[in-house]
Amino acid sequence: MDDNFFRAAQQGTAPDLLPGAHGDAHAAQKYRQVTAKQQVDLNVKLICQFCRDPVPNLIEDFKQGDLICGNCGTVFKDRIIDTRSEWRTFSSDEGGDDPSRVGGAENRLLGPKLNLETSIGGGLHADKRELAKTHAKTSVVRSEKILLEGFRTITAMGERMGLNRKIIEAAKQYFKMAETGQPIKKIEATVAVALLLGCRKCGADRSLQEFASMINISKTEFGKVLSQVKNTLRQASQQQQQASSATAVAPTAGDDHDANPTTNNAGALARRFCNALSLPMPMVNSVVAVCDRAYTITEMASRNPRTIAGAAIYLVTHLYGQPVAAKTVASMVKVTENTVRQAYRIVRGNLEAALPEDLLKMDTSRLPAN
């Protein structure tokens, strides 16, 4: 028998006799019976034994755990298992959907008492807010309240600045060390200092001026808070060394919280400034290359990284024929316009040392004298 015969037999169009057995009608009939049995519908269908509806109207009542016929009301099964998602809303009275069944994860920095602390949300009504204030006054001492508020501020400020979770967690560690060493009076400034130290620990290039501008205080005042926090951290590190603690939650004395406030990479800062100015990628790479080579110039080696970045941006944009005004560059890098022009003049006087080979081939006559 060939494949065409079997295919035709299954479709009901096979010849009356099997190939090679002409005249044997019994064999052909037996073959058709076998193929008919193979085509039996083996799907399991659940229908009502009283209605016999081929399209049953079955209702799953998960509240009662019953399987019911929607036409006659017959109960087929009881105690059925609810296979739907378990999420439900626990804040329906507040008008928002919160599928969370439990609270947040345990925070090692808060300790067992604060992790198990009961809190009352303010809500939308005045009586709920009053109850929340009263509860906060009676259940949380001042030091614990400062710690909780500091952690919330660190998270909010870090997310606003686009910092990753690793930096935020490191900042919380520094804030806890600072709070343990001495009472914190300026929470917002201490939070900014903790984030700055967290950035330095994780290798993120963020300057002191950025954090000072974030909380609207002067660079001098921010530097004072930074010095106080660093002294507190230094004392805490010495105490840890004396106690010879094997497992310390907070950063150890080997961390870089004593680093120079101006030790930032000018190239990394310049990359961020170029992105803010919407400069194309080839121009960004050229600016970074100029920043890296600018440190070989004696007059530029001791300059602020922001000044070097501003001078490089001002020079490269003019070299590409897409100049950015010195005032705009100065506003972006948070230095004065005169500082940017002065650094630019130094770099322009040392083009062979500051520019890579591909930029030296470009038309340097586009560069302004000042």
Domain borders along the chain are 3-38, 52-81, 142-243, 266-366
Coil, strand or helix at 337: helix
Q: What is the pLDDT of residue 259?
A: 43
What would the mean pLDDT of 133-156 be, rounded to a whole number? 74
What would the mean pLDDT of 122-135 be, rounded to a whole number? 70
Q: Which residue has the higher pLDDT, 173 or 240?
A: 173
How confident is the prediction for the chain on average, in pLDDT?
76
**What is the dihedral sign for C-alpha 224, 262, 151, 157?**
positive
Same fold, 142-243 and 266-366: yes
What would the mean pLDDT of 20-36 be, rounded to a whole number? 59
Helices 142-160 and 187-202, interaxial angle, to 10°?
Answer: 50
Given a cut of 80, is residue 70 above it in pLDDT? yes
Q: Could you give the CA distance from residue 41 to residue 333 in angstroms, rounded to a whole number?
A: 76
142-243 under CATH 1.10.472.10, yes or no: yes
What would the mean pLDDT of 340-362 be, rounded to a whole number? 88
Q: Could you give the CA distance from residue 314 to residue 318 in angstroms, rounded to a whole number?
A: 7
- Quote the tokens at residue 100: 């969370």
DSSP string covering 165-222: HHHHHHHHHHHHHHHHHS--S-HHHHHHHHHHHHHHHHT----HHHHHHHTT--HHHH
Q: What is the pLDDT of residue 314?
A: 92
- The C-alpha angle 107, 112, 113, rounded to 5 degrees, equals 115
Q: What is the pLDDT of residue 25?
A: 66
**What does each C-alpha distance from 153 to 21, 146, 197, 239, 305 come to in angstroms?**
91, 10, 15, 28, 28
Given a cut of 60, is residue 192 above it in pLDDT? yes
Given a cut of 50, is residue 247 above it in pLDDT? no
Given a cut of 50, is residue 54 above it in pLDDT? yes
Given a cut of 50, is residue 84 above it in pLDDT? yes
Q: What is the pLDDT of residue 264?
A: 60
What would the mean pLDDT of 250-278 be, rounded to a whole number? 65
What would the mean pLDDT of 129-156 be, rounded to a whole number? 74
Coil, strand or helix at 270: helix
Given a cut of 50, is residue 20 above it in pLDDT? no
Pick the CATH number of 266-366 from 2.170.150.70, 2.130.10.10, 1.10.630.10, 1.10.472.10: 1.10.472.10
Given a cut of 80, is residue 368 above it in pLDDT? yes
Please tell me the pTM assigned to this model: 0.52
Split at pLDDT 50, 70, 90, the class of 18 is: very low
